[in-house]
Structure 1
Amino acid sequence: MNIRGKTLHVKYAWIDGKIEENVSISVDESGKIVEINKKVFEDNVHLSNHLLVPGFVNTHSHAFHRHLRGKSEIGKSAADTFWKWRDNMYGLVAEVTKEKIYQYCLSTFKEMINAGITTVGEFHYVHHSEQKFDLDQSVIQAAIDSGIRIVLLQTLYERAGFDNPAVHPVQERFISSYEDFIENLEILRKRQEHPRVQIGVAAHSARAVPFENIKRLFEFANGEKIPFHIHLEEQPKEILDCQKWIGQKQGPSDILLSQMQLNEYFTAVHATFTPANNMLQFSKLGANVSICPCTEGYLGDGIPRINENLKISFGTDCNNRICFLEEMRWACFSQQILHFLVLYLQMLNNSRSVCGLSPEKLLQCATIDGARALSLSSTTGSLEIGKYFDAVSFSLDSPLFANSFADTLIDSLVLSAGNREISHVFVAGVDRKT
C-alpha cells in the first residue's frame, strides 16, 4: 500500500499522546504528513478497524548479531559469562565480507520492519574486510533496499582494553585511529543523499576508546548536531577495569560526567551498572539512555537503575528476538521486579507504579524519545504535520483487542499484543511490511 499523495482514514490513531477517533491523515508525494483532520471522502484509503501509532524507533542495534540465533548456550557452562558469548560473536565476523554483511543486515532490517520498527540506529563497528571501511556502505545499502529509515551510528573502536592489551584478531576489523575514523566519516557523510539515511557517531565503549577521544568525538557530534552514542557500564568488569587503570574509585560514567557537558545529543547505551545518582545526573542534563531489556535479559546483564525523569528509548541490540512490544513490556516488568527486590529487603510493600512506566509512557519511549535519541525529532517519532508518515497499524479484529475501547487500547496494545497483530508498516508513506 502506498498512500503518498493520498489521504488515509483510520478508526483510531495515537496523536499528541492520546487516542483520537476517526482520523484522516493526508500525505504528500514525498511521504510527509500535510494535514490531519476528521474529514472523510469516498476516495480516502480506509483502515476501518485499525489502530494507528507512530512507527517504532529502535535506538540500538547490531544487525549482524541476529545470525547468532540458536547459539545462546543459555543454561550451559559455555554461556556462563557475557564474555564467552562475545567470543561466539567474534566467530561470526571472522570472515565477514561486503556481501555477507549486506545479507546479514538486509534480513534483520526486513524483520524489524515486520515488527513495526520504521527507524533503526545501527551501532556499526565492523568496518573492514579487504580494505579499510569497505563494509560501511553495505550496511547503508541494506537499509535502503529493505525500506527502513536508518541512522548509521558510525562507531570508533581504537583498542582492546584500558591498558591496551593484545588485540584479538577479529578486532582488527573494528579498529582505526581517531584521525582515520574522522576522515572516513566526513567522506561517508558527504556521499549520503538518500532521504532515509542519516549518519551519527558512537564511541564503542570506554574500554575501546580513550576518554580524551570520547570527549573529542562527542564535541564533534555536538558541533554538527548529530547523535553521539556509547556503550556504557554494561558489565561490572568495565567499571572494575577502569578503576584499576586510573587508580581511583571512579567508573566511566563518573569520568564522562566530570569531563563532558552532556546534553540531548548524548545517549548512554545499556548503563546497566551505572549508579543511580549518575542516572539522575543524566536526566538533569537532558541526556538519553537506550536500554535493551530483551538482550539484557538474554545475556544476563542485569537491570539498569532508571528514574522517572530520564529520557529512555529502546533497542533490540543482539536481535535474537525482534519484537518492540516485548522490549516495552520487559522494560516495565524488569523495573517492577528490581523495585520489588529493593522493597522486599526493607520489608515494605511492592509497587506496580515504577518510574511512571505506564503503557502510554512506554509507547512514548518507543517513538518520540527514540527519535530524540537519534536526533530525528523533526523527522519522525509522532504523527504530526511536517514529519514523515512513519506509522504502524494494528488490526482490531484480533481477539486480543476484544472489549478494548478508546480509553483502553494503548494498554491492550503495549501489554498484550504482539507482531502478529501488525497489519501495515509505513515508512514515508509506503507500506514496507512483507
Structure 2
Amino acid sequence: MPAADTPASLWFETALLPQGWASGVRLTLTDGRIAAIETGTAPAAGEERHAIALPGLPNLHSHAFQRGMAGLAEVRGPAGDSFWTWRETMYRFVDRMNPDDVEAIAAQAYMEMLETGFTRVGEFHYVHHDTAGAPYANLAEMAERIAAAAAETGIGLTLLPVFYAHAGFGGLPPGHGQRRFINDLEGYATLLGGSRKAVAGLKDAVVGIAPHSLRAATIEEIEVLVPLADGGPIHIHIAEQTKEVEDCVAWSGRRSVELLFERIAVDDLWCLVHATHMTDAERIRFAASGAVAGLCPITEANLGDGIFPARAFVSEGGRWGVGSDSNIRIAAAEELRLLEDSQRLSLRARNVLAGAEGRATGRDLFDAALAGGTQVLTPGEPAGLVTGAAADFLTLAADHPAFAARRGDALLDGWVFAARDRAIDGVWRAGVQVVEGGRHRARAAIEASFRKTLEGLLG
C-alpha cells in the first residue's frame, strides 16, 4: 500500500516497554525502526499524540487462503465430523483458486490481522501449483501473490514455503486433493530461491522453511531441508491430531514429537505448530530445546484438535506464541483469551498462565506471545518497543468501556478478557500507520476485491 507520512516522533501518555509501563513516552522513528525512546517527557508542540501504546503482536502461523472458506465446513456430515472431514472441504476449496484469488483472499486476511493487533504474519504457504497440479512457469507465482498481498496491506511478512511430498508416514504417494502442494527436493530448492526473490522488495521480510509435517515429509527429507533454512526459521505441523500420532506409532514405533527429536537437532529456530498431543517426556524435551510451540487456539477449537498442555509446558520453561492458522476468525486478543480459557476449562482453575502470585494474566499472555512469536518469525531481532526494533505498534482506544478507570497491566487484562470490537484505535507497521480509527486505510478496496473473488469462487 502507499506509504503514509511518517512523523519523526510520536508521543504517548503511556506505553508498554520491556521493563514495564512508562508514562510520557516519545518514540523517534527512522526508516521504519525505533531510533530512540524517551520516557517522562511532555509532548512537543505539534507532535502526534496518542493515549496507550503496545507492541504489535506476531502471528506465527497462517494459511491465508483459508480465510475464503471460513464457515463453509460447519454443516454436519453423515458420520463423525473431524479435522479429516474438514480437510476434504479445504481440498475442494483449493481446487478452485487461481493466483488472483489467492492474492485477494490473503489481502483480506492480512488486513484483518492488522486491525486486530497482529503486525507480522508467518505465512505457512503450501499452495504452489495450478488447478491441475502442474507447476506454474514461475514456480514461485503463488509466493509472489502472497508478497503482493503483504505489500498492499503493509503487514510484516515471514514467508514459509512448505515442502509437501507425501500423503502419509513412510512416504505414501500424495492423493488427488494434494496435487497443488507437491514438490520434490530439487523443485523445493527452486521454490525457495523464487520465494526469496518474491519478498525482496518488502521491508524487513524474512524467508524460512516449512516441512509440512512428518506425514508429508520424511525424516530423511527433513534432514536435507534443514540446511536450506540458512539461519532462518523452521516451522512444522506436529501432533495436532491423535490419529496422526497413532499413525506415526504404527509406522515407526515412535510418537510424532518423540521421532522428530530423536532424529533432528531441534533448536530455537524451530516452531512446532500445535504439538497438542504429547507425553510428559515429549513435553519436557520440547520445553528444554528452546523451540517455540505455535498455538492456534481458535482454529484448534474449531477443528476439535484438543487442548495444549500449556501450564505444564510453561512451568518447564517452554516458549510459545499464537497464530490464526485457518483464519476462521481473526482476532489477536481472542487467541490469547481462548488459550487461557481452555486451560481453565481443562484444569478447573483460574489465572492459569499468570506467572506468579500478583501477576496479571493478560500481561503474561501478551509478553509470552510477543517473545515467542518474534523468536521464530524474525530470529535475532529484538521484541517489543526497544531501540533498534521495527516500529510495529498499536494504540488502544482510551475511551473504550473495557479500559475505563484502568491503568498498567489492567489495560491488557481489559483488552484480552473484556473488550469486544473497536478496542484498537491505530496500528503502525514499520513506522507507517496502516490502521486509523480502527479501520485499515485500504479496507474498502480490499474488501470489495475479496467479495468479488468469493462471488466468483462460490457463486
Q: Which of 403, 406, 413 is 1:404 aligned to? A: 406
> Does the 8 Å contact 2:240/2:277 carry over to 1?
yes
Deviations 1:307-341 (A, max 9, x none): 1221100000011111110000111111122223x
Q: Which of 124, 134, 157 is 2:141 aligned to? A: 134
CA distance in 1, matches of 2:427, 2:80: 36
Change (3 A) 1:235 1:76: same
- 1:202-213 to 2 correspondence within 5 Å? 202-213=210-221
Q: What SS does the aligned partner of 1:408 have?
A: helix
- 1:77-88 to 2 correspondence within 5 Å? 77=78, 80-88=81-89
Letter in 2 for 1:431: Q
1:169 equivalent in alignment to 2:162: no
Of 105-114 and 398-407, deviating more is: 398-407
Q: Which of 334, 344, 349 is 2:342 aligned to? A: 334
1:242 equivalent in alignment to 2:248: yes
- 1:363-382 to 2 correspondence within 5 Å? 363-378=366-381, 381-382=383-384
Partner of 2:116: 115
Partner of 1:8: 10
CA distance in 1, matches of 2:28, 2:419: 27
Deviations 1:163-184 (A, max 9, x none): 4445322311100001210122
Partner of 2:292: 288
Cα distance, 1:190 vs structure 2:
4.3
Partner of 2:233: 227
Q: What SS does the aligned partner of 1:155 have?
A: strand
1:181 equivalent in alignment to 2:188: yes
Cα distance, 1:20 vs structure 2:
1.1
CA distance in 2, matches of 1:272, 1:303: 6
Partner of 2:389: 387
Q: Which of 274, 285, 309 is 1:270 aligned to? A: 274
Deviations 1:279-303 (A, max 9, x none): 2212211111100001100111100
Partner of 1:46: 49
Cα distance, 1:215 vs structure 2:
2.6
CA distance in 2, matches of 1:235, 1:355: 27
CA distance in 1, matches of 2:409, 2:240: 38
CA distance in 2, matches of 1:415, 1:51: 17
Q: What SS does the aligned partner of 2:326 have?
A: coil
Letter in 2 for 1:14: L
Q: CA RMSD in A?
A: 2.0
Q: What SS does the aligned partner of 1:206 have?
A: coil
Cα distance, 1:79 vs structure 2:
6.5
Q: What SS does the aligned partner of 2:408 have?
A: coil
Q: What SS does the aligned partner of 1:195 have?
A: coil
CA distance in 2, matches of 1:121, 1:184: 17
Deviations 1:40-73 (A, max 9, x none): 31121111xx211001100000011111122232
Q: What SS does the aligned partner of 1:432 have?
A: strand
1:149 equivalent in alignment to 2:153: no
CA distance in 2, matches of 1:330, 1:263: 27
Change (3 A) 1:152 1:78: farther
CA distance in 1, matches of 2:65, 2:276: 23
Change (3 A) 1:314 1:188: same
Q: What SS does the aligned partner of 2:152 have?
A: helix
Deviations 1:365-406 (A, max 9, x none): 332221112134426x30111111100100111111112123
CA distance in 1, matches of 2:123, 2:289: 24
Cα distance, 1:111 vs structure 2:
1.1
Q: What SS does the aligned partner of 1:412 have?
A: helix
Deviations 1:7-52 (A, max 9, x none): 1111110101521112111111x121111113331121111xx211
Structure 2, unaligned stretches of length 5 or more? Answer: 441-459
Letter in 1 for 2:228: F
1:159 equivalent in alignment to 2:166: yes
Partner of 1:99: 100
Cα distance, 1:354 vs structure 2:
4.3
CA distance in 2, matches of 1:219, 1:355: 37
Change (3 A) 1:179 1:195: same
Letter in 2 for 1:244: A
Partner of 1:343: none
Of 5-14 and 356-365, deviating more is: 356-365
CA distance in 1, matches of 2:53, 2:263: 43
- Counting matched residue pairs gives 417
CA distance in 2, matches of 1:133, 1:170: 20
Cα distance, 1:353 vs structure 2:
3.0
Cα distance, 1:186 vs structure 2:
2.3
Cα distance, 1:188 vs structure 2:
2.7
- 1:409-420 to 2 correspondence within 5 Å? 409-420=411-422
Partner of 1:218: 226
Letter in 1 for 2:183: S
Counting aligned pairs with the same residue, the percent is: 31
Letter in 2 for 1:119: R
Cα distance, 1:187 vs structure 2:
3.5
> Does the 8 Å contact 1:158/1:177 carry over to 2?
yes
Letter in 2 for 1:268: L
Cα distance, 1:123 vs structure 2:
0.3
CA distance in 2, matches of 1:69, 1:5: 38
Q: What SS does the aligned partner of 1:367 have?
A: helix
1:321 equivalent in alignment to 2:329: yes
Q: What SS does the aligned partner of 1:19 have?
A: strand
Of 325-334 and 367-376, deviating more is: 367-376
> Does the 8 Å contact 2:58/2:120 carry over to 1?
yes
